[in-house]
């Protein structure tokens, strides 16, 4: 049961809000993001997403179900951003403050990709608070590369698979968020139930990542 996937999970609710609303609302707490675009698929199962969106807050674009990289390049070609921030829609606890921290670090660096969304390499964040930052020009390079279907589906996988060709930096977490064994993704029924219990324990949409960690630790 715990490994069962959750089709249509963006429409599922955590407390009184859909998972999608959690992601959008918490992402918009960033002070440095200029434009928020949801790049979803043309699959009919994602039609419900359009009904959940507040058009004044977020732009919707749709593209191939499996080729997520193409969705990204289509959006990037339309808006020509200098920096692209990839926020995963299965991270309802994504933290706007940590997104801004990521953007600042990326701008100050010469890395191809900087991330704080998952504990790997030098990043020791709890999984689910951050994102990946890279330049629009890197998307063009990826689109011109010979990719596997899995690399097309997982936008930055080609970069990690060929890490010897790219400069990648995992942002170290501040002490209060340095819990690499904690995961706040929602991919399975077990994940969903865990997050629902945390909300029952006091987690709310405006809560900082550090306070979510405190509630999680207190619930163990």
With contact defined as beta carbons under 8 Å apart, do 106 and 114 qualify?
yes
The domain made up of 9-219 is a member of CATH 3.90.550.10: yes
Q: What is the pLDDT of residue 4?
A: 34
Q: What is the pLDDT of residue 12?
A: 82
Q: What is the pLDDT of residues 134-147, one digit of tens each?
A: 999 999 999 999 99
From 103, 86, 108, 130, select the one nearest 32 (Cα to Cα): 103
State percent of the chain over pLDDT 90: 80
Is the confidence at residue 77, as pLDDT, over 90? yes
Across 82-103, average pLDDT: 96
Domain ranges in the chain are 9-219
């Amino acid at each position: 049961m715990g490994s069962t996937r959750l089709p249509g999970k963006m429409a599922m609710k955590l407390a009184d809000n859909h998972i999608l609303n959690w992601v959008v609302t918490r992402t918009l707490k960033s002070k440095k993001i200029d434009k928020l675009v949801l790049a979803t698929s043309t699959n009919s199962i994602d039609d419900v997403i359009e009904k959940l969106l507040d058009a004044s807050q977020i732009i919707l674009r749709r593209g191939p179900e499996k080729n997520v990289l193409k969705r990204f390049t289509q959006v990037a070609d339309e808006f020509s951003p200098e920096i692209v921030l990839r926020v995963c829609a299965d991270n309802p606890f994504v933290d706007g403050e940590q997104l801004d921290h990521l953007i600042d670090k990326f701008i100050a660096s010469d890395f191809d990709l900087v991330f704080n969304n998952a504990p790997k390499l030098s990043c020791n964040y709890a999984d689910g608070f951050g994102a990946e930052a890279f330049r629009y020009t890197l998307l063009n390079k990826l689109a011109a590369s010979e990719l596997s279907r899995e690399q097309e589906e997982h936008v930055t996988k080609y970069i990690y698979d060929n890490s010897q060709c790219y400069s990648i930096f995992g942002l170290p977490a501040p002490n209060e968020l340095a819990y690499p064994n904690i995961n706040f993704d929602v991919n399975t029924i077990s994940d969903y139930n865990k997050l629902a219990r945390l909300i029952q324990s006091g987690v709310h949409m405006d809560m900082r990542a550090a306070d979510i960690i405190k509630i999680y630790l207190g619930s163990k």
